[in-house]
Structure 1
């Protein structure tokens, strides 16, 4: 059975962007859309659903919220199947559980209250850092009209697991009918950027060649499966987060991988992931690269 696209909603403007993005993705991919709202209203209200005829106000709000999101999705993509769920749970835990049986999770960049002023909402950050499936955070300005047929940008990492992010990016480019721009950044180690660098042109060529070999290795695993996707490969000198932020301007989607280790505690995002999630001018997809994962469907076959 095809896994659904799951959208987390909280009533914020950002979550409406997530509904729009998720509906378009479900329509492109032929998947169902599942709209989920989670909060601890049950804990604070002290009432369980179905026990009292008088439903707590937060439950009514949650039901109206997902119903409105379902109506919005059906209006934007009439052909998709949309289901909803209200979960009286802590949002991060509920969404992470949803992610174990989802093709991807879609979230808005910010929530309500004090966190609304942050660069990225705490729920979106925590889910992107720990989910077992790809997470899309709908950064950037809401698009007016149908999705663009522009380009998808892939940030190529240095690990073998980066093929998971590459495959996700190729799938996105194919479904959108657009080109894929694969970016691999390279730079000297910090001590070589001093006023009197230890190395010269030969070393620069070596670092660039290493970057080229990494790009060839990662793209070579998946490019043959997507002959219809036009690929532009870019090797750029500079820091990865700066180069990707520049490439993300005017882009439909930016895809980056995130290394995960099963049973590791805390957030599992690198510096580049953080920079993209906080500053990118377009939607960002974070694709987990699992090490020792109990979820074999999220591992790349060798």
Structure 2
């Protein structure tokens, strides 16, 4: 059975952004859309006031919230098939479990968290750092979220898993009928860390060439799979997170990869992904390498 697009809903403004983005994605891909609300407060439903029909008020609130999100999707994408669920669990636990049977998890940049003004909500950060499927945080201004720029940006890292991430970015570009900009940032390390002595000009050329070869490898392996996408290469000297945040200003989606190490507990994002999730001007897709 084809895996669905799953979106977490909590009624916040960020959640509504995620629902809209997920509806468009489900319509593009022809996949089912699954709306999920999770709250540990449901465990204490028996202690909360009950409505006349015997349901706890918290449960009724959750069901109404999901129903409102479903109606929102119907208005935007009437042909998308929808399923819903209200789960009496911690949101991170519930969404990570949903991700094991999802093509894509969509989240808002901020929910109803306890810390006002956070750049990224704790639930979105935790899920993006641990999910087994690609996660999209639907952040950014409306033009970026509604595909106004016709451009997907791919950040290419060091590892061979970048080919998996590149395939995801190419598929997104094909579905959107837009171009893909593949970005590889590079830097010259301090002279004393060089494996062999080079003068400054040779050192710069060597590391630029190394970055260029990395781009060649990743795009050479993956571009054969999706031939109808226009791919533009971009080498940038400097910090990767700064380059990707700048590129995101005129992008509809920024795609980055994340390694998942077995047995490692906690967040598995890395400095670059952490930075773009907090500061990118467009939605960010975090794709597990090897997914």
Shift of 1:230: 0.2
Question: How far apart are the structure 1 equivalents of 2:77 and 2:147?
Answer: 12
SS state at 2:259 partner = strand
Q: 1:221 to 1:192 in 2, by over 3 A?
A: same
Question: How far apart are the structure 2 equivalents of 1:192 and 1:16?
Answer: 51
Larger CA deviation: 144-153 vs 255-264: 144-153
Could you tell me which residue of structure 2 aligns to residue 96 of structure 1?
A: 96
Shift of 1:227: 1.1
Question: How far apart are the structure 1 equivalents of 2:144 and 2:137?
Answer: 18
- 1:136-188: CA deviation from partner (whole Å, max 9, x where unpaired): 00110234996335100000011111111101100110000000000000001
Question: How far apart are the structure 1 equivalents of 2:101 and 2:154?
Answer: 25
Question: How far apart are the structure 2 equivalents of 1:144 and 1:79?
Answer: 24
Could you tell me which residue of structure 2 aligns to residue 15 of structure 1?
A: 15
Could you tell me which residue of structure 2 aligns to residue 228 of structure 1?
A: 228
Say what the alpha-carbon RMSD is for the aligned residues.
Answer: 2.1
Could you tell me which residue of structure 2 aligns to residue 175 of structure 1?
A: 175
Q: 1:116 to 1:2 in 2, by over 3 A?
A: farther
Question: How far apart are the structure 1 equivalents of 2:12 and 2:198?
Answer: 52
- 1:116-144: CA deviation from partner (whole Å, max 9, x where unpaired): 41110000000000000000001102349
Could you tell me which residue of structure 2 aligns to residue 71 of structure 1?
A: 71
- TM-score under structure 1 normalisation? 0.90
Shift of 1:198: 7.9
Paired residues, number: 285
**Contact in 2 for aligned 1:108/1:137 (Cα 8 Å):** yes
Whether 1:285 and 2:280 are equivalent positions in the alignment is no
Alignment map for 1:51-62 (pairs within 5 Å): 54-62=54-62
- 1:172-222: CA deviation from partner (whole Å, max 9, x where unpaired): 1000000000000000125679xxx98501011110111011111111111
Whether 1:44 and 2:31 are equivalent positions in the alignment is no
Shift of 1:2: 1.1
**Contact in 1 for aligned 2:113/2:121 (Cα 8 Å):** no
Question: How far apart are the structure 1 equivalents of 2:125 and 2:286?
Answer: 11
Question: How far apart are the structure 2 equivalents of 1:8 and 1:102?
Answer: 12
Question: How far apart are the structure 1 equivalents of 2:288 and 2:187?
Answer: 24
Question: How far apart are the structure 2 equivalents of 1:186 and 1:167?
Answer: 22
Alignment map for 1:1-302 (pairs within 5 Å): 1-46=1-46, 54-143=54-143, 147-148=147-148, 150-190=150-190, 199-290=199-290, 298=291
**Contact in 2 for aligned 1:192/1:198 (Cα 8 Å):** no
Question: How far apart are the structure 2 equivalents of 1:145 and 1:132?
Answer: 24
**Contact in 2 for aligned 1:41/1:59 (Cα 8 Å):** no
- 1:46-69: CA deviation from partner (whole Å, max 9, x where unpaired): 369xxx952111111110011111
Question: How far apart are the structure 2 equivalents of 1:260 and 1:271?
Answer: 15
Larger CA deviation: 137-146 vs 64-73: 137-146
SS state at 1:269 partner = coil
